[in-house]
Structure 1
Amino acid sequence: MGEEILREDDGYITTLSINRPEKRNALNADALFSMGDILSDLKEDNNIRVVVVRGAGDKIFSSGVDLSGGPESIEKTIKGLEHCLSNLISYPSPIIAMISGPAIGAGLDISVISDFRIASEGAKFGATLVKLGRIYYYTAINRLISLVGMAAAKELLLMGKLLDAKRAVEIGLVSQVVSSDLLINTTYSMAKELAEENAPLAMRATKLTIHKLLEHQGINPQIESELRALADEVNQSEDAREGVMAMLEKRKPTFTGR
């Protein structure tokens, strides 16, 4: 653990790179726990004012959670995902997702949690769990709806197809789209402006205020247990097991509705 996520500090800016290009930057438990731990440490570092999250290389941001370890590793990976996402959500300073290539599943959720999303023209976005007989956790669905609205969220979640960068900017999923050769300069120009021209305390307070306001309008506690039970029921179903096995065996799944 440690090389799955690369950390690079440059002045007020920290870059976190998902470093599993041989696995299409899929996030296994080690990568998820590592990113969560780094972000937790960064919360105490007042010298860092902006975090950039990216995929190693220029071909893919992240293909989502790594399921190649089979059912026995899923529980640890889910705990790692919860650790990573909770630290992303609670990170007090601005986060920019620099997206080159596909951002799928957990990769999509990481970009949704980020405060800014800058994508290359070749970027693609997807939430494809319906094709594996599974369902996204209600908190991730709620975040997506808050960002893009009900209709676009249904387009992503129910169709399970990849959206291109043009469609992503149309629905408000990304902040801006640039050519691949301008992606790095555009991203770090924004990061530098945030870090050097804006007051860090004011940015933190503004971000916290926005989160508190959205949280107040968020999930009704009266239905939270129902939504949690629904997600658990679907994700532990025969179809969910079949979807994962079919993916690992590189075949078309046979879903039975059970």
Structure 2
Amino acid sequence: MSDGWRVERQGARATIWIDRPPKMNTITVAMRHELPQLFRDLEANDAVRVVVVRGAGGAAFSAGGDVSEFLAQAPADLEQWGDTLGAPERCRKPVIAAIDGHTLGAGLELALACDFRLATLRSEFAFPEIRLGMIPGSGGTQRAARLIGMTRAKLFMLTGQRISAARAEVWGLITQAVPNDALDGAVGELADELAERAPLALRTLKTVLNRGADASVEAALELERKAYAWLRSTHDYAEGVTAFLEKRPPQYRGR
């Protein structure tokens, strides 16, 4: 693994650090190719219930791709690497982006692929690609438009303007803006709450929501019904009901 990623474990939570503070946590080509495997490894680890992605150093979540590499990439390579930053969305476990500082370009695309985005009020967001004669190419155009609507997405991306965390929260680009000294607490509280939930139900619900969003209503409802029926046969469902009736905390096993 390159020097750009660092993984830490704390109980049921795994944190993937974007660890290039001197470079504003910009993401290199090598880092892009490593990210999907990082998520596959964490998904395969039953002890991990929640994944957090955050930037080291306090100045940036990630300022985007490493511009020094841009002109060295062939168009065919660029087309193939576009889905690497979608790894958090494909991960079946909940993924939280803990954002503090500049979140630009590919860094914002990575954050948008996460299930939750908690950001400090000093954070700023932008897709500056248009200023380089380019467009977002790792999911940014589609994920942003689905979150904030086409009108705001066009204003945001066609101008390359930066917006504050407060505005990003109002627009729906992020889940929550928090005081600058409250990020760790907010992320920890959400991660702990998610870790207490039934793993099978969490990953099933994430799949139903993500796939249903791009399906017809009829197809999405059918997916929901099948997922609901399947979960009724699991140990976790029986444990949840039994624990409720016995007035005790459930002990979920993910099966």
TM-score by length of 1: 0.78
Identity rate, percent? 33
Q: Distance in 2 between matches of 1:50 and 1:143?
A: 22
**1:254 equivalent in structure 2:** none
Q: Distance in 1 between matches of 2:74 and 2:68?
A: 9
Following superposition, the deviation at residue 81 of structure 1 comes to: 4.3
Q: Are positions 1:20 and 2:20 aligned together?
A: yes
8 A Cα contact 1:119 1:176, kept in partner: yes
Q: Give the residue type in structure 2 aligned to 1:35.
A: L
**2:152 equivalent in structure 1:** 152
Q: Is the partner of 1:3 in helix, strand or coil?
A: coil
Following superposition, the deviation at residue 138 of structure 1 comes to: 8.3
8 A Cα contact 2:83 2:139, kept in partner: no
**1:113 equivalent in structure 2:** 113
Deviation digits for residues 188-207 of structure 1 (CA, Å, limit 9, x no counterpart): 111011112x1111010000
**1:46 equivalent in structure 2:** 46
Deviation digits for residues 112-136 of structure 1 (CA, Å, limit 9, x no counterpart): 1111110001000001111111122
Q: Is the partner of 2:210 in helix, strand or coil?
A: helix
Following superposition, the deviation at residue 33 of structure 1 comes to: 2.0
**1:201 equivalent in structure 2:** 200
The answer for unaligned runs of 5 or more in structure 1 is 218-258
Deviates more, 1:62-71 or 1:163-172: 62-71
The answer for unaligned runs of 5 or more in structure 2 is 217-255
**1:143 equivalent in structure 2:** 143
Deviates more, 1:75-84 or 1:112-121: 75-84
8 A Cα contact 2:82 2:139, kept in partner: no
8 A Cα contact 2:97 2:111, kept in partner: yes
**1:59 equivalent in structure 2:** 59
**2:104 equivalent in structure 1:** 104
Q: Distance in 1 between matches of 2:170 and 2:12?
A: 32
Q: Distance in 2 between matches of 1:130 and 1:152?
A: 16
Q: Are positions 1:88 and 2:77 aligned together?
A: no
Q: Distance in 1 between matches of 2:36 and 2:83?
A: 6
Deviation digits for residues 3-42 of structure 1 (CA, Å, limit 9, x no counterpart): 2100001111100010011111000012222222211212
8 A Cα contact 2:84 2:138, kept in partner: no
Q: Distance in 2 between matches of 1:29 and 1:80?
A: 11
Q: Distance in 2 between matches of 1:16 and 1:142?
A: 24
Following superposition, the deviation at residue 82 of structure 1 comes to: 3.2
Q: Distance in 1 between matches of 2:10 and 2:78?
A: 31
Q: How does 1:123-138 map to 2 (within 5 A)?
A: 123-137=123-137
Q: Give the residue type in structure 1 aligned to 2:205.
A: T
Q: Distance in 1 between matches of 2:131 and 2:82?
A: 22
Following superposition, the deviation at residue 89 of structure 1 comes to: 2.2
Greater relative CO, 1 or 2 (CA 8 Å, sep 6+): 1
Larger Rg: 2
**1:211 equivalent in structure 2:** 210
Q: Is the partner of 2:62 in helix, strand or coil?
A: coil
8 A Cα contact 1:119 1:177, kept in partner: yes
8 A Cα contact 2:109 2:138, kept in partner: no
8 A Cα contact 2:83 2:138, kept in partner: no
